[in-house]
Structure 1
Amino acid sequence: MARIGAEERRQDFIEATIKVIAEYGIADATTRRIAAAADSPLASLHYVFHTKDELFSAVYESLINMPQQSLQYAPTGATTAESIGEMLRQLVKWFTLHPDRATTQFELFFWNLRNNPEMATKIYAVSIEAAQQAIRKITGEALDQTALITVSRLLINLFDGLLLAWSTHGDLERLESETDTACQAVQLLVDSY
């Protein structure tokens, strides 16, 4: 049997955790269940991630990092406002193509909010920072720092609200319509700067 590298094993555990949380919820995401989903001994999981909090942090970080590639797209000839609106659209689209990740992201955030509020605060800050970096990459210096912070916060808040609503109603057509409206709101805000 071929030996699996540490980084590959780490990623296996992250993927398994996403699946387990999406299927069973965070309360029933035991390390034993996660190790089984990764087809790995429990001891290997504890070797790679010393605590469950460490594992959950790695999962959340990957949930922030995974869709970043979808944020690199800016339509040719688009204004700054249109580019940022399109970022929101692409982010929502990415998560609708990966519903387990959307479910897991919500589960982890609310679990942290109840059990580790400092981590929840950190998660939100990291999300805002990731949005700011993505906006800067596409728009350059088109927005000053105050505008960048405001637009990034709105982008994350709209994104979270859209996915939470979609999680409850499950209607992709409705989500697309609501996303269009949210993108227009982002564009209007950006245009006001």
Structure 2
Amino acid sequence: MHFTKGETMARMTVEQRRAALIDAAYEVIAESGVEGATTRRVCAHAEMPLASFHYAFESRMALLGAVIEQAVPRDLVVMIGEIQNEVPPGGMAGMRREMTDTLRNLGDLMLQDAGRLQATASLAIFAHNHPELRSAGRKMYSTATETVAQALEVAAAKHGTAWSIEPGELGTLLISATDAIKMAYLTTSDEKVARTVVDGVVTWMMTYAVDERADG
């Protein structure tokens, strides 16, 4: 959220300042890592005077906590919303096509923006290493797994299938699998390797799929 030069700081509410700084911090972290996200650099990226920072956050650590709690989960929701699947209902075969298209598209989105991958990974590690941010890290993870679990439930209902374990548990497993996709790419910079992992994840996920029509 960037404000034009004509909009003065006096017109911005505290919540607008917070939102602008959160978005700017996430972008800076994607470009320069957590350590590079100084308050000065974040304020410059948000086109906001450094003196205004403490109107919105009491510290840099408080800002990073807000990024972890808000920006990262919101980014995941946006990414899922960008995935358009036109797979018609079709039982187990349709479910496999849905999973394949979804994870390949998700993988492609991640590969197109390596900074986004690095930001998420570095924020998770940073939260783990700083006790005051661990609750924010847990919230980030729970929001992500809940979002994925809902998507899995919708997909199963569409194809007349079910999952052999609770969607919430499966969401946790799938989030962990997407982390594997991220690391495969970040460590090799090889898109072919990342896509091989994607296809393996689809095969693994389908071991939890059940055809409800066959059971009926």
TM-score, reference length from structure 2: 0.75
Cα gap change, 1:168 to 1:142, in 2 (>3 Å)? same
Partner of 1:126: 143
2:178 to 143, 159, 162: 159
Q: Is the 8 A contact 2:22 2:66 kept in 1?
A: no
What's the CA shift string for 1:17-69, capped at 9, x where partnerless? 22321232212311111111222212444434453222443322333222120
Q: Is the 8 A contact 2:22 2:71 kept in 1?
A: yes
2:36 aligns with: 28
Quick check: 1:117 aligned with 2:134? yes
Q: Which residue of 2 aligns with 1:104?
A: 119
**Structure 1 counterpart of 2:143, one-letter code:** V
Question: Identity of aligned pairs, percent?
Answer: 22
Residue in 2 that maps onto 1:2: 6
Asked if the contact 2:28/2:42 (under 8 Å) is kept, the reply is yes
Task: Letter of the 2:6 partner, please give it.
Answer: A
Structure of higher CA gyration radius:
2
Change (3 A) 1:66 1:11: farther
Task: Write the mapping of 1:1-193 to structure 2, written as runs, cut at 5 A.
Answer: 1-3=5-7, 12-50=20-58, 51-52=62-63, 53-71=65-83, 73-78=85-90, 79-115=94-130, 116-140=133-157, 142-143=161-162, 146-191=165-210
Go from structure 1 to structure 2 and tell me whether the alpha carbon gap of 1:19 and 1:190 turns closer, same or farther (over 3 Å shift): same
Please list the CA deviations of residues 68-90 of structure 1 after superposition, one character each: whole Å capped at 9, or x if unmatched.
20345252345234323432222
Runs of 5+ consecutive residues of structure 2 not aligned to the other structure: none
Give 5+ residue unaligned stretches, structure 1: none
1:127 maps to amino acid:
A
1:130 shift after superposition: 0.8
With over 3 angstroms needed to count, the CA separation of the structure-2 counterparts of 1:139 and 1:10, relative to structure 1, is farther
RMSD after superposition: 2.8
- Cα deviation for residue 183 of structure 1 reads 1.4
- Which shifted more, 68-77 or 141-150? 141-150
Deviation at 1:123, TM superposition (A): 1.9
Distance 2:211 2:170 in 1: 11
The number of residue pairs the alignment matches comes to 193
TM-score (norm 1): 0.82
